Amino acid sequence: MVCMTSDHVRARTAALLLFSHGSPDPEWAAPLTRLQDILAAREPGMIVSLAFLPPAVPTFDDVVTQLAAAGVKHITVAPVFLARGGHVKRDLPEMVLQAKAAHAIDFEILPTLGEAEVLLEAMAGWIAQEAAARRR
């Protein structure tokens, strides 16, 4: 008999969805794919997916449909945006409502990156360091 902890079961039915702008330039997504890889390595039992606003692919709807087909019941959406603009305030909540109507999945939306003081401090430190290095 295989004994699974509740964390193991949760990991199979939960996913983290990184959601961002898209671009036709394939290099544009490289940092986001790297972020996805880093998160997947930190959370090996968690499904970590990446979705974009159209016309880039995969879209939010595409990824949610795939996750639902895989048995995912809870998706935590991480909007990879610096600020809460129209896409985060209006578009994302509407996409989540439509996805909830189409699939038996619960959603949770995390704050944007710019709402995390620790990230703002890290960015400020990096910018100051890079600017200082270029002044030398």
Residue 6 confidence (pLDDT) above 70: no
Residue 91 lies in a domain: yes
Residue 2 confidence (pLDDT) above 50: no
Residue 5 confidence (pLDDT) above 80: no
Residue 105 lies in a domain: yes
For the chain, what is the domain count? Answer: 1
Distance of CA 110 to the CA centre of its chain: 9
φ/ψ of 2, rounded to 5, equals -95, 125
CATH code assigned at 105 = 3.40.50.1400
The three-class DSSP label of residue 38 is helix
Report residue 32 as tokens: 């986001």
In this predicted structure, what is the pLDDT of residue 132? 94
Ramachandran sector of residue 71 (left: φ over 0; alpha: ψ -120 to 50; beta: rest): left
Of residues 47, 40, 45, the one with CA closest to residue 5 = 45
The three-class DSSP label of residue 108 is strand
Residue 125 confidence (pLDDT) above 90: yes
pLDDT tens-digit series, residues 38-60: 999 999 989 999 999 988 999 99
Separation of alpha carbons 64 and 95, rounded Å: 10
Residue 3 confidence (pLDDT) above 70: no
Question: Cβ(78)–Cβ(39) under 8 Å?
Answer: no
Residue 117 confidence (pLDDT) above 80: yes
Containing structural domain, residue 69: 6-135
Residue 1 lies in a domain: no
Q: State whether the Cα torsion 88-90-92-97 is positive or negative.
A: positive
pLDDT tens-digit series, residues 57-89: 999 999 999 999 999 999 999 999 999 999 999
